[in-house]
Amino acid sequence: MLYTSAAGLYPRAPLPVLSVAKEDTLLLRRLLGRGEVKLALDVQNTFEPGPLKERNVVAEIAGTDARAAVLLGAHFDSWEPAQGATDNGAGVAAVLDAARILHSLGVKPRATLRFAFFSGEEQACLGSRAWADAHAQELDHLWAALIMDGEPQAPLGFTLHGRDDLAAVIKQRLAPLAGMGASAVDPGGDLVSDDQTFVVYGVPTLSLKVADSDADVRHHTIVDTFDKVDPRWLALDTAALALAAWSLASAEQPPGQRLRAIEVETLLKKTRQADYVGLDYAKLPRLP
């Protein structure tokens, strides 16, 4: 039993995991201060028969190059019974408003700007994986995928999930964000959302990096409510996403190459993300 917001499969320690609320954790800590504590747990789960149908929602602003695209994405599902305001209602709002802003400006980028709202992220990125599978033949021309998932805070820049080969070009293309303090490039970054899907498919993938906060005490809990969203940070995060997507889509070429399967395997091992993603390397998408 863990005081954590993430309960699920731990590949290196295949144990059942139970996530408990902060209040319960504090109670247990007080009791432990008095001596040994024994717990009797009654855990009930309900599994609905499947398969179940879900939908992704996708919109776009057409570019002058019909084949090239830059994707800006967020997942719209959340944990029950939370409102999911920060995970990931805020991310959805940011991507949606970025689309509104860019459309209202009448921009005409070189690469099509694709705005994707994925379902099933909390069940292992099922929506984004389904989208990538359905559009596998187009991924060679997906210049980049930008993902937002998490509580709005001051935007700092973007993480590259181990793709340090992209750092120099991305730093140059994020230069317009320097004025708002959001041009930092972090070559690392854990795979914690739909970024997994696009990294596994070898697509250059960026995730919005924001200032540290105590968001984990609310993440995946019933207190992930609308009042936890700071509109100031949400507005700045939205601006950072919109400007970064526009800058990438307006360039003459993609920021880097799509990786082959063997290169993805090497990347995940180098960044120690292989176990977390739980990949069967034999099933990695094979590139020509």
87 and 219 share one domain: yes
The total number of structural domains that make up the chain: 2
The model's pLDDT over 124-152, given as tens digits with 9 standing for 90+, comes to 899 999 999 999 999 999 999 999 998 99
pLDDT band at 213 (very low <50, low <70, confident <90, very high): confident
What is the distance of C-alpha 236 from the center of its chain? Answer: 18
Structural domain includes residue 110: yes
The model's pLDDT over 239-266, given as tens digits with 9 standing for 90+, comes to 999 999 999 999 999 999 999 988 998 9
Structural domain includes residue 49: no
Return the higher-pLDDT residue of 223 and 149: 149
86 and 199 share one domain: yes
SS3 call for 24: helix
196 and 258 share one domain: yes
Structural domain includes residue 50: no
125 and 203 share one domain: yes
CA–CA separation, 247 and 177 (whole Å): 10
The model's pLDDT over 104-117, given as tens digits with 9 standing for 90+, comes to 999 999 999 999 99
SS3 call for 71: strand
Residue 280's pLDDT is: 54
Cβ atoms of 200 and 277 within 8 Å: the answer is yes
156 and 79 share one domain: yes
The model's pLDDT over 11-41, given as tens digits with 9 standing for 90+, comes to 555 667 777 777 888 899 999 999 999 989 8
Residue 207's pLDDT is: 97
Residue 235's pLDDT is: 98
26 and 128 share one domain: no
25 and 112 share one domain: no
Torsion sign across C-alpha atoms 179, 74, 141, 256: positive
Structural domain includes residue 75: yes
Q: What are phi and psi of 197, to 5 degrees?
A: -55, -50
pLDDT band at 273 (very low <50, low <70, confident <90, very high): confident
Residue 7's pLDDT is: 46
For residue 176, give the DSSP letter.
Answer: G
pLDDT averaged over every residue in the chain: 89
CA diameter of the chain:
69
For residue 213, the enclosing domain spans: 57-283
Structural domain includes residue 279: yes
Give the CATH number for residue 129. 3.40.630.10
Token couple for 46: 């309900």
Token couple for 258: 């799509």
